[in-house]
Amino acid sequence: MLKRTLNLMLIALIIGPVAAFSSHLFLASLEYATSWRESYQGLIWTLPVLGFLMTIAYQYMPAKMSWGVTHLLYELREPRHRANPFLCVWIFVTSALAHLGGGSVGREGVGLIINGTLVDGIGPFEEDSEERSILLQSALSAGFVGMFGTPLAAIFFIFEINKYRSASSFSRWLAIVMAVFSTYIVAFYLDTPHMVFPTYNGVSWNGLLLMFFAIPLAAYLFYYLFLFFFKTFSKFGKWKMVYGGVILSILLFFIGTRYSGLGTGIILLAVSKGEALPWDWIIKLFLTALTIGIGFKGGEVTPLFFMGSTLGAAIGMVTGDLDLAKLGMVSLLGSLTHTPLSAGILGFELFGPGAFMWSFLLSLFGQYSLRGRHLYRLD
């Protein structure tokens, strides 16, 4: 028993630097992709080509190469099939190319997949063992902190999204804590570019009431619009990414690239100064649902930050509440992933202790308003 625990702790400590370096490299690649896209607007027309190449590639790849966050979370519940370690390279490259072409995708989900599949694919334990499940969860949590820079939220997020299954295991908690904090320390010394925000100071009751209406509405819209695009383009069969890529490129040609990629500059403007265009959140919502619905790789979290923060900023411009953008940023994510406690902790780590309660309550209300509808469709 002691030897087993020591082996887990040693591997957990190794996971941290691996997650920190891979996250740092991925974030750096996205900065280069964004810089290139902004310099060469014509890159938006590469999306159909990328869709074609990915479609051809999938014909010759194992089924595991199409895994996403949902598959890895299922493996935590019932560990049966080890991930393909080459998926970490595939998701890295295709996500960076989707950003280069202007797809409205994020990064955090990709960070989870990169670290989760890398660790799981080469792990030393049996596929159905508890040790494998512990290390996979440690790798997912490490990927979370590598992308966000928020260790407390990283520890609780993967537990909460799986309804605290196996949360009574001391060795699991210990391995996750060691992986998360070793990732955080290495990322700190690597100077990984995590977003930094001003402190939350408070909002009015009028602003809060409007947010309790707006966050569930935005969550509903994103959920159903994503399903609509997913089902609609599935009718095109294996060529859905090509047809969808053409439509997305045409839309970006007319709309512009304000809503392409991460949009961290707009997020920072909304959260820091409460400034946003009234329609920012709905256009970002539409383009993200379309990009992911047709099959392009990339995370959903940063786009949800964009939607939530600009929605809060738009309401704040009416009510005079600068900090509604901060609450909107984390509560839309908490609503769609059913992780209100983690959203509250994330608000605490990003904006200070004053943001915890309302981030938690808005996320909790949004979760129950969705009535079982889930971003990762786990149930």
Same domain for 180 and 213? no
CA distance 144 to 133: 17
pLDDT digits (tens, 9 = 90+) for 99-151: 999 988 888 788 888 888 888 877 777 777 888 888 899 999 999 999 889 99
Whether 198 is in a domain gets the answer no
pLDDT digits (tens, 9 = 90+) for 175-219: 999 999 999 999 999 988 888 899 999 999 999 999 999 999 999
Residues 6+ apart with CB under 8 A from 241: 50, 51, 52, 54, 55, 294, 295, 296
Domain CATH code at residue 319: 1.10.3080.10
Whether 195 is in a domain gets the answer no
Total-model pTM = 0.93
Same domain for 64 and 146? yes
CA distance 334 to 364: 8
Whether 378 is in a domain gets the answer no
Same domain for 84 and 228? no
The candidate with the shortest Cα–Cα distance to 115, out of 5, 244, 27, is 27
Same domain for 155 and 242? no
pLDDT digits (tens, 9 = 90+) for 302-319: 999 999 999 999 999 999
Same domain for 211 and 143? no
Whether 199 is in a domain gets the answer no
Whether 152 is in a domain gets the answer yes
Residue 378 has pLDDT above 50, yes or no: no
Q: Band of the pLDDT at 67, cuts 50, 70, 90?
A: confident
Q: Which residue, 163, 190, 217, sits at the end of a domain? A: 190
pLDDT digits (tens, 9 = 90+) for 310-350: 999 999 999 999 999 999 999 999 999 999 999 999 999 99
How confident is the prediction for the chain on average, in pLDDT? 90
Same domain for 81 and 129? yes
Residue 379 has pLDDT above 60, yes or no: no
Same domain for 259 and 320? yes
Whether 144 is in a domain gets the answer yes
Same domain for 168 and 297? no
CB 132 within 8 A of CB 82: yes
Whether 197 is in a domain gets the answer no
Domain of residue 143: give its range: 2-190
Same domain for 141 and 214? no
Across residues 19-29, what is the average pLDDT? 92
Same domain for 173 and 210? no
The whole-number pLDDT of residue 62 equals: 84
Q: Which residue, 190, 224, 249, sits at the end of a domain? A: 190
Q: Which residue, 164, 190, 216, sits at the end of a domain? A: 190
Whether 379 is in a domain gets the answer no
Same domain for 231 and 335? yes
Same domain for 177 and 306? no
| Partners of 336 in the β-ladder | none
**Phi/psi of residue 299, each to 5°?**
-80, 165
End-to-end alpha carbon distance in the chain: 34
Residues 6+ apart with CB under 8 A from 229: 244, 289, 290, 293, 294
How many domains is the chain partitioned into structurally? 2
The whole-number pLDDT of residue 2 equals: 66
